[in-house]
Amino acid sequence: MSKGNLFVISGPSGSGKDTVLAGVFEKCPELKFSISAITRPMREGETPDGKYRFVSREQFEDMIKNGELLEHNVFVGNYYGTPKKYVVDCLNNGDDVMIEVDVNGARKIKEKMPEAVLMFVCPPSLEVLKHRLTRRGTDAPEVIEKRLKVAIDEIKCAKMYDYIVVNDALEDAIDNAVAIIKTAGLKTENNTDIIDGIVNK
């Protein structure tokens, strides 16, 4: 059995990454999602069984000490990390797995696992990004400016990714992310058993 493929997705605030990801999981129900351990407080609307496992700083630091994390990073004063075991188990079982991380996390994963396929969700323009961040809600103008600055810094790192998914029309962005996943599944190294099955009959 061939190993599963590892995918990493990043995108700044205002890129629509979470919406793209939700669409991808609808179209690829077999894809596994790596639940990150994080120390930031739960936000309104989040649940303990959602996309994060909420842990204390002590628990997180133990996970670091015990080598349980594939990568970890401090983001706005809180720890975020990818538990290693789940990812490794999925890949060994032949399952594809998606990790959602910031640009630092993506860089660290690519260093450790160069076969990881990195995709970056990007807004179509600075104007659209500004509009999305402003439209979002009740953030004060200085908060919006700060988010915009962080988003631009992240977009500056996009060139290290294997693929860019521009999120202009949402359905196109979802289809393009799905195409990246399907393409990885078509790689020769993932299909040698099919070839062997034909020629060794």
- Residues forming contacts to ligand 5GP in the complex (CB under 6 A) are 10, 36, 40, 71, 73, 75, 80-82, 100-102, 104-105
Sign of CA dihedral 83, 85, 87, 90: negative
Residue 93 beta carbon to ligand 5GP: minimum distance, rounded to whole angstroms: 21
Residue 164 beta carbon to ligand 5GP: minimum distance, rounded to whole angstroms: 16
Tokens 């080598």 belong to 67
51 vs 190, beta carbon nearer ligand 5GP:
51
46 vs 196, beta carbon nearer ligand 5GP:
46
Locate all alpha helices (DSSP H) within 46-120, ordered by sequence. Answer: 57-65, 84-92, 103-112
57 vs 187, beta carbon nearer ligand 5GP:
57
Amino acid at 165: V
Residue 36 beta carbon to ligand 5GP: minimum distance, rounded to whole angstroms: 3
* Alpha-carbon distances of 8 from 87, 106, 148, 177, rounded to whole Å: 11, 7, 22, 11
Determine contact, residues 181/4, Cβ cutoff 8 Å: no
Determine contact, residues 112/71, Cβ cutoff 8 Å: yes
Residue 71 beta carbon to ligand 5GP: minimum distance, rounded to whole angstroms: 6
Residue 157 beta carbon to ligand 5GP: minimum distance, rounded to whole angstroms: 11
Nearest residue relative to ligand 5GP (C-beta): 105
16 vs 105, beta carbon nearer ligand 5GP:
105
96 vs 100, beta carbon nearer ligand 5GP:
100
Sign of CA dihedral 40, 50, 111, 67: positive
Return the number of other C-beta atoms located less than 10 Å from residue 186's C-beta: 8
113 vs 190, beta carbon nearer ligand 5GP:
113
Query: What's the CA gap between 152 and 124, in Å, rounded?
Result: 13
Return the number of other C-beta atoms located less than 10 Å from residue 2's C-beta: 14
Q: Show the CA angle centred on residue 187, arms to residues 183 and 191, nearest 5°.
A: 125
Residue 105 beta carbon to ligand 5GP: minimum distance, rounded to whole angstroms: 3
